[in-house]
Amino acid sequence: MDGDRGTLGGAVTSFLREARDVRGLSEQTVRAYRGDLEDLLRFADARGIESVGAVTLEVLRDWLWDANERGLARSSIARRSSSVRAFTRWATEGGVLTVDPGVRLRAPKGAAHLPRVVTEDQVRGLLDGLADRAAGDDPGALRDMALVELLYAAAIRVSELVGIDLADVDRSRLTVRVLGKGGKERVVPFGVPARDALEAWLERGRPMLLAAAASTQASGSGTPAHDALFLGDRGGRLGVRSAYRIVARLLEGLPGEGPSGPHTFRHTAATHLLDGGADLRAVQEMLGHASLGTTQIYTHVSSARLREVYRTAHPRA
């Protein structure tokens, strides 16, 4: 067995080599495998996943939904599902994995396989817990509180969140300017709780991280990100990987199935908006969807929840 098969990148390289040289698969098939698995490597690297053993079913589902959010065709997502199942089967048969995470993986099909949507009570519980932590003026806790409040309030993508600069936030008008897919800019509203959390972060938390970063800059620890809204623990701009870890850690104790990254709050916010009677086109504009059809998937979630409430609450259901 190759020494680097335990790493995700090494295992992918070995799989592609064997597919071409040992199994004699066509160049077209190998090319498709390579493109799909290189995208998985990109996704995994952004989340700090380096070993094959860290690629769980939840990670694979989140990867497919990331492709869905980027507008890939259903056929392309189905092909990616097939490619990664071939890879995990090979890794399991070769002893690289003890359990095959791809066995239960299916390409996403509509609202039934949406990433986790948490309830309003669960969101409230998470935010109350963050508020308790932030009460002690810990800069990381203040940042996490503001980060989650903004993710949920504005229903933005994690890539949009980490790209926000100080100048993009209008606390008087309760709006934030974000740069979405294709470089499209939009202005998104947020509520008073998010504003309060942002003010606490900006006034008490962020200066502490900047000061700590400035004191260690001479030792080569990094350069403070003076323009960025959200900072990492070393004072630089918060990255997608770090934001993903923050949210995943918060959600890991909640019941339910499905991916538990920052998109959970985006999906949850969209569903709660529609549950509350928001106009579908207004939600489309807020989310930055190019097609109304992409937004309509949340109506299925709302309808499913309505049916569930009806069955449990109506005396003649």
The two beta strands, 169-170 and 175-179, are antiparallel
Q: Length of the chain in residues, anyone?
A: 317
Per the DSSP assignment, residues forming a β-bridge with 165 are: 228
In the set 157, 195, 206, 267, the catalytic residue is 157
The dihedral region occupied by 155, where left means phi > 0, alpha psi between -120 and 50, and beta the remainder, is left
Catalytic annotation present for 181: yes
Greatest distance between any 2 Cα atoms in the chain: 71
CB 158 within 8 A of CB 244: yes
In the set 47, 263, 267, 272, the catalytic residue is 263
CB 287 within 8 A of CB 155: yes
Q: Position of tokens 């959010």?
A: 69
CB 84 within 8 A of CB 33: no
In the set 61, 143, 266, 267, the catalytic residue is 266
User: SS3 for 315?
Assistant: coil
Catalytic annotation present for 113: no
Residue type, 34: R
Catalytic annotation present for 244: no
The DSSP call for residue 49 is -
Catalytic annotation present for 263: yes
User: SS3 for 79?
Assistant: helix
User: Active-site residue numbers?
Assistant: 157, 181, 263, 266, 289, 298
